[in-house]
Amino acid sequence: MSGSTQSGLAAPALEGRAAPVVITGGSGFIGCNVAESFLRDGRDVVILDNLSRPGVRQNLDWLKANYGERVHPLIADIRDLEAIEPVLKEAGAVFHFAAQTAVTTSLSDPFEDFEVNARGTLNILETLRRAGRRTPVIFASTNKVYGALEDLEMMELDDSCMPISGDVQHQGISESRSLSFCTPYGCSKGVADQYMVDYAASFGIPTAVLRMSCVYGPRQFGTEDQGWVAHFLIRALEGEPITVFGNGKQVRDILHVADAVTAYRLVLDHIDTAHGQVFNLGGGMHNAVSLRIVLQEIRHITGLKPAVEWADWRPGDQHYFVSDTARLRRQFGWSATIGWREGLRQLFAWLRDVRGLGRSSEEERLTA
């Protein structure tokens, strides 16, 4: 969430209504899915977004078309304290997704990365502290706060890699893992992550942090730098080559966005006990797959064989990350319910049927 700022609520005033849910980055992939879940429940939602990312304006238009006057767009940047203060002070809860999300961008412009991720987050927390209200804030952090995990010894298999440590093999990476920021992106998100934890301890702001692995699903406009599952599918359906950085054997526990939304809602519902805590959020062992395996499944479900181009490893890229989500399960009964193959088919259907990718001109003519 970066770029120019233009503030102003474009929807009816909220006076006399229940305090709205404010979602920073609410036009983004996860933000708009969380927004839609509250709108379905009849809540008013403020979408605080500067609309800088490709595709997100489409998500905002989709929300407005389906939920009308209960969607309140505030086109603003979280770095603009004056613009965001009024709506944050009236929030019933805040979900903070707005961010600079690409490691590559952080390497080319560390100042921009810091201003959005670190200072932008502090703007939100300070606004709520000065308002003197105990407004819950749920923050979208990242597995990158654990660093590159270079201390993990790995064994290489045919199409994936696996840690030698039995504990990590069977349980994944837990929240007890030491933080080890690397790359400017990891540093800026890590700073924001720790500010969230500290504002709960120092000022009593009811915050909680979700350190996410790779989330995918409908409403995602993946790019080479962020949202790789959707990006791979989009490139395949467009008939374009896919660039894989490294050897493609790196493993992630991919999580469908519907399961991510459930986790965010549960944490808010239990903020009295979640207060000040961090939780790993990912697909877990049952959804741990390598890039190569995802490419194989894309070929299977699409019937296409996209060209793959290989490039050097990117800075800070983890060879293996699988979340230990036991803390979410123990405290709130959460677990991933959508298997990665089923989820990939759902994303394929959305890209094909809603966005029209991969459809022949004859198919488009017949369904027009």
Between strands 45-49 and 71-75, the pairing is parallel
- Enter the tokens of residue 93: 């809860």
CB atoms within 10 A of CB 65: 9
The single-letter DSSP state of residue 274 is H
- Residue 115 tokens, joined: 């201003």
Exposure of 297 by Cβ count < 10 A (0-12 exposed, 13-18 middle, 19+ buried)? middle
Annotated catalytic residue within 185, 195, 216, 320: 185
| 100 secondary structure, DSSP code | -
Query: 118 is written with which tokens?
Result: 């670190």
As a 3-state breakdown, the chain gives helix, strand, coil percent values, each rounded to 5, of 45, 15, 40
Say which amino acid occupies 309. E
Please name the amino acid found at residue 195.
Y
- Which residues are bridge partners to 212 per DSSP? 142, 281
Sheet hosting strand 251-253, strand order edge to edge: 288-290, 251-253, 320-321
Phi, psi values for residue 299, rounded to 5°: -60, -40
* SS (HEC) of 201-258: HHHCCCEEEEEECCEECCCCCCCCCCCHHHHHHHHHHCCCCEEEECCCCCEEECEEHH
For the record, the structure tokens of 321 come out as 């990350």
Q: At 292, is the secondary structure helix, strand, or coil?
A: helix
Is residue 185 flagged as an active site residue? yes
Active site residues: 185
